[in-house]
Structure 1
Amino acid sequence: MDVQTVHVRQETSSWSGDLWGGLAAMMVALPSAIAFGVLTYTAIGPEYAGAGDMAGILGAAALGLVAPLVGRTAGLISVPCAPAAAVLSALIAGLLAGKTGARLAPENILPLLALTALLAAGLQIFYGAIGGGRLIKFIPYPVVSGYLSGVGVLIALGQLPKLFGLPKGTPLGLGLISPELWRWEGLAVGVVTIILMEAAPRITKKAPAAIIGLFGGVSAYFALALFSPGLLTLQGNPLVIGTIRASGSFLDAIAGRATSLFSVDLASIGLIVMPALTLSVLLSIDTLKTCVGLDALTRSRHNSNRELMGQEMGNLASVLIGGMPGSGAMGPTLVNVTSGGRTHRSGMIEGGFVVLALLFMSPLIAWVPIGALAGILLVIAWRMFDKSMFRMLRAILPDGWISPSSPGWLSFP
C-alpha cells in the first residue's frame, strides 16, 4: 500500500468522523441553544418565546459555521451558552424594572440586546489582538467558579416559574407554596425530563442525556394530551414554544437588524457597557476553559488569541442575523470528540446540521414543551454549580470572599 493510498484513507476516515461528530454535537447543542434563547427572550414576556426559539437556533447556526472557520481549534463546538443567557436575562430584568435608571418598553429592549452582544464581540477581538488569551488564565479560580456558580443559581431561579407554569408576575416564593397556581401538565413534563436526563448516563452512553430528556419530555406532553385535548392546540398555548415567526427575506431581516442598532441613542448605550464587558469576559473564559480541556483530551494545542478572534466573528455573525451570542461549550465539544470529530470541520458540520434542522423541522420545534426546556436548564444549572467552592472558602477565606460577590454583577447590570 503506497503513501498516497494511506493518506486518502486517513482523510476519508477524518471526514467520516467529523460528520458523525458534528451530527451528534448538533443533537446536544440544539435543544440547549433553544432553551437558552427561550430563557433570554421570555424575560421580556412569554409572548417572545418563539423569538427566543429562533434566536437560539440562529445563534447555533452562525457560531457553528463561522467560529471554527476562523478559530480552527480542532473539535471545538461553539453554541449559545448559559453565561450569555444569564447576563442578557439579568439585563432585560433591569431594563424592565428601571434598575439601570431607565424603564424601557419591551419593544425597545431587543436593539439593546443586540448591541450588548455586538459590543461584547468587539471586546473579544480586542482581547485577541492584544494577546488577552494568555492573560485570561491568570484570573483567580474562585472568581471564575463563583461567577459560573452564580450563573447556575440565576438560571435555576428563572426556570422554576416555567417548570411550575406560574402566571407571569407571580413571585416565586408565593408561587411555590400555591399549588392552585401550578400547571400540573407542564410540571409533569419537566419532572420526566429531569429524571431521564439524570438517568440517561447510567442507561446508555450512545445517546446524549439532553436528547433523551427532551424526547422523554415531548413524549410525556403528548401522552398527557390524550387526557387533556386542549394541549393539542398550538395557538395561545403557554406550555409549548409556539410558532416560530420568521417573515420577510433573509437580507431584509439583516438590514432591519442593522437599522435597529443605529437607532439606539447614546444614553441607552451607557446602560449596556458593564453587561457587555461582563459578557465578553465570561464568553472568553468559557471558550478558553473548554479549549484547555480539549487539548488534554486530544493531545493538541489550541491558539488562544486566534480562537478569541473566531468567537468574535461567530458572535458578530450571530448578532447580524438575530441570534444569541455564545462560546465554545464543553458538553457538545465532548460529544463531538467522542463521536469521532477530529478537526475544525466538525464544528462547521454541526452548524450545517443546525441550518438543516431550521429549514425542515421548524413545525416540529414549535411543539417543544416549555417544561421540558426548563427541566434541561435546571439540570445544566445544577451541574454548573461548583460544590467544591465552599470547601475552598473554608481553606482560603480571603480569596473566597470574591467568589460569592461575583454573581451580583449578573443581577445588577
Structure 2
Amino acid sequence: MLRSFSSYSTDHFRKDLLAGIIVGVIALPLGMAFAIASGVKPEYGIYTTIIAGILISIFGGSNYQIGGPTGAFVPVLLGIVMTYGYQNLLIAGFMAGVLLLLMGLLKLGGLIKFIPRPVIIGFTSGIAVIIFSGQIANFFGLRGVEQHEDFLSNMKEIMIHLDTMNVYSITTALICFFFMIVTPKFFPKIPSPLIGLLASSLAAAYFFPGQVATIASTFGEIPHSLPRFQVPQFTFEKVHMLLGPAFTIAVLGAIESLLSAVVADGMTGTKHNSNRELAGQGIANMITPLFGGIAATGAIARTATNIKSGAVSPVSGVVHGLAVLLVLVLFAPYASAIPLASMAPILMRVAWNMSERKEFSRILLTKTSDSLILCTTFVLTVFANLTIAVEAGLILSLILFVRRMGASLKIEQVLPDPEDKKVRPAAIEEGHHCPQISLFTVEGPLFFGAAQLFEHRIMEAIHYRPNVLILRMSKVPYMDTTGETILADILKDFREQGGLLLLSGMQPQPAEVIKRTKLLDLIGAEHIFSHTGEAITFALTKLNKNKCLGCKQSAFHECAELSIGNEKETKTDKGLLA
C-alpha cells in the first residue's frame, strides 16, 4: 500500500473516494445477505465488510481488491454454524486466517493455479445452486421452514411448507427484482441492488406493514456500533475438531481471493503479489473474528465494480469499509426494517452471476475427462459438501492426469535408416533388424504411472536376449524413483543374461536421479553416451562376431564390413585346419 503512495495525488484520492463510496453502498446489503444465508445475524456480515474490507486493502497484494463476505462461503459457514455453533465458527475463521497467513509466508500462492479449472467451475456452480435454493423460502415468505445441512432435506422442507406461501413476501421480492432489472437500463451508474432493496422495503413498509418478515422481526435490531473486542475460547479439543472446517475456509478463501486478484490484473494491466495477498487475507481473517465477523475473501464482483468506478489504489478499499461503518452508525435502525424477501432476489442474482453457466456448458460439451471432473465436483458440492467435492475433484483430476501421462509414454524399437542413417521406427522391417543389438527410443515422463508399460515393453525385448540394449533417453524429461527402480530391475535382469545396457542422451533431471540413487555406479559412467551414434559404435565392439557370419539383416551400415570380415576369417581358419 505504501508503494501506491509514491506518486499519489489529490486527483487520485478523489477517484478512490468516489469508488470506495460506490462499492461500500453495494457491499452493505450483500454483507447482510451473505450473513443471513450463512445462518448468522446480518450485523456480523456488516462487521466483516468493515474490518476485513479495510485490512485486506491495507495488507493484501492487489491494489484493487475488495474483501468481505462472499457467496462462496455460504454453504461452508452454514454447515459449520449448524454443526458447531456460531462461537466455534469464529474459532474456525481465526484458524483459517492463521493457515492463510502461513500460506503467504511459505510462498504457496503460486500453487493455487494448479487447481484444475473444471474443479473450480464445478464447486462454484454447485455453490450457486445452494445459494439460489436457500433463498426460495424467503422469496415466497414460507413459515416454519427449518434449515438442514443437506440439499435434499432443504428442498423437502420447502415442499412441505409451500402452503404457507405469503403473497406479500412474493410481491416485495418481485418489486426488488423489477428494479434490479430496470435500473441498469436507465441509470447504469446507480447500484441496482440498492435501488431494488430501497424500493421494495419502502413498498412493504407503507402498503402492507407488518405482513412480511424483516431483519428486526427475525434477528432483532441491528446495533449501530461495532462489537467489543473479544477473544474466542480456544481449547485443544476445539482446535482439533475445527481443523477440517478451518482448512476448507482457508483453501476456498485462497482460491476466491487469487481469482479475484487475477480478474483485477486483467482489467487494469497490473500484476498482483499472490503471496502477499494470501498473507493479507490471513491477517484479515484472524482479526475479524475477534470482533464477531465471519470469514472473508476477495469479492470478484465488488472488485470489478471498484475498478470500473475509477479506483487507483488500495485507498478505495479502505474508504469502502469506512463508508459501511458510517452507514452502520447512522442508519442501523432503518436497516433493521429491511424485509427478508427484499434480500432474496439480491442473493438469487448473485447466485445466477456466479454460476458460470457458459463455462459449465462449454466444458460439459467437450465430453472429455474434464466433463467427468466437472460433473463430479458439481454433484458432490450440491448433494454432499464442498470439502468432499473439492477433494474428490482433485483426486479424480490426479488419477485421470496420471492415466493420460502414462498413456503418453512411447517406447519404440528403432534402427538407423539405410538412406540417411537417421534413427526411425520405420527402419525396422522384416529382414532388417539386429539379433544382437536392440535399440529403443523412450519418449515421455518415466514415472509411476508409466513404469509398468516401460518394464513390460523392455522385458519383452530382453526375452529375445540381445547382446546389447540401447535406450535412447533424450525425450524423457522426468524420471521419479519408481521409474528409476524399474530401470535398475531391467539392468539387473539384463546382466544376469549376460547382456549390456547402454543409455544415450540423458536429460539433466533423470541423470541427477540415477546419480543420487547410485544407479549410475551400477550402470557405469562409460556406458552412458551423449549421442546415439556413440552408443551404437560402442555396442558394435561388444558383438559376438561369429553370429555376424552370413547375417543378411544389414541393420547398421557397419554390418556389411563385419559380415565380410567374418567370412574371410572363417575361410582362413578352414585353410589352416586343412
Q: Secondary structure at the match of 1:41?
A: coil
For 1:137, the equivalent position in structure 2 comes to 113
Q: Is the 8 A contact 1:59 1:325 kept in 2?
A: yes
CA deviation vs aligned residue, 1:323-361 (integer Å, no higher than 9, x gap):
121111122212222222110111011111111111111
Deviation at residue 9 of structure 1 after TM alignment: 10
- Asked if the contact 1:90–1:410 (Cα under 8 Å) also holds between the matched residues in 2, the reply is no
CA positional deviation for 1:236? 7.2
What is the alpha-carbon distance in structure 1 between the residues aligned to residue 139 and residue 215 of structure 2?
A: 20
1:390 aligns with 2:361: yes
> Partner of 1:217 in structure 2?
200
Deviation at 1:121, TM superposition (A): 1.1
1:45 match: none
Asked whether the equivalents of residues 73 and 249 of structure 2 are also in contact (C-alpha less than 8 Å), the reply is: yes
- Judging changes above 3 Å, is the alpha-carbon distance between structure 1 residues 297 and 307 closer, same or farther for their aligned structure 2 residues? same
1:255-308 deviation line (CA, Å, top 9, x unaligned): 3xx1x432x561x44443332222211111111111111112111111111011
Aligned to 1:254: 229
Shift of 1:8: 12
Partner of 1:64: 53
Q: 1:301 aligned to 2:277?
A: no
Aligned counterparts of 1:405 and 1:190: Cα–Cα separation in 2: 33
Mapping for residues 156-171 of structure 1, pairs under 5 Å? 156-169=132-145
Match of 2:183 in 1: 200
**CA apart distance, 1:73:** 1.8
Deviations 1:226-274 (A, max 9, x none): xxx4349979734xx5412579x95xx323xx1x432x561x4444333
1:403 aligns to 2:374 (yes or no): yes
One-letter amino acid of the structure 2 residue matched with residue 131 of structure 1: K
Q: Where do 1:221-370 residues align within 5 Å?
A: 221-225=204-208, 229-231=209-211, 237-238=217-218, 242-245=220-223, 250=227, 253-255=228-230, 258=231, 260-262=232-234, 264=235, 266=237, 268-370=238-340
Q: Percent sequence identity over matched residues? A: 28
Q: CA deviation at 1:12?
A: 0.9
Equivalents in 2 of 1:10, 1:115: separation in Å? Answer: 39
> CA offsets per residue over residues 308-333 of structure 1, 9 Å max, x none?
11111111221110012111112221
1:38 — aligned with what? 36
**Higher Rg:** 2
* Shift of residue 22, structure 1, vs aligned partner: 0.2
More strand by share: 2
Greater share of helix:
1
Distance between the aligned counterparts of 1:191 and 1:242, measured in 2? 25
Q: Deviations over 1:30-63 (max 9, x none)?
A: 1101101111125xxxxxxxxx211001000011
CA distance in 2 between counterparts of 1:24 and 1:137 reads: 31
- Paired residues of 2:49 and 2:67 also in contact (CA < 8 A): yes
Contact kept in structure 2, 1:78 and 1:326, CA below 8 Å: yes
SS at match of 1:119: helix
Q: Distance in 2 between matches of 1:391 and 1:300?
A: 29
Measure, in 1, the Cα distance between the counterparts of 2:214 and 2:127.
Answer: 32
TM-superposed CA distance for 1:169, in Å, is: 3.5
- The answer to whether 1:122 aligns with 2:122 is no
8 Å contact 1:194–1:213 — kept in the other structure?
yes
- Aligned CA distance change for structure 1 residues 195 and 64 (closer, same or farther; 3 Å): same
Match of 1:190 among 156, 160, 173: 173
Whole-angstrom CA distance in 2 between matches of 1:233 and 1:212: 20
Conserved 8 A contact 2:135-2:348: yes
Q: CA RMSD in A?
A: 2.7
The residue that corresponds to 1:91 in the other structure is: 80
Secondary structure in structure 1 of the residue aligned to 2:262:
helix
Q: Which has the higher contact order (CA 8 A, sep 6+)?
A: 1
Do structure 1's residue 155 and structure 2's residue 134 form an aligned pair? no
Name the SS of the counterpart of 1:168 in structure 2. coil
User: What amino acid maps onto 1:221 in structure 2?
Assistant: A
2-structure distance, mates of 1:191, 1:235: 18
Report the TM-score when normalising by structure 2: 0.60
1:53 aligns with: 42
CA distance in 1: counterparts of 2:220 and 2:8, whole angstroms: 45
Amino acid at match of 2:10: T
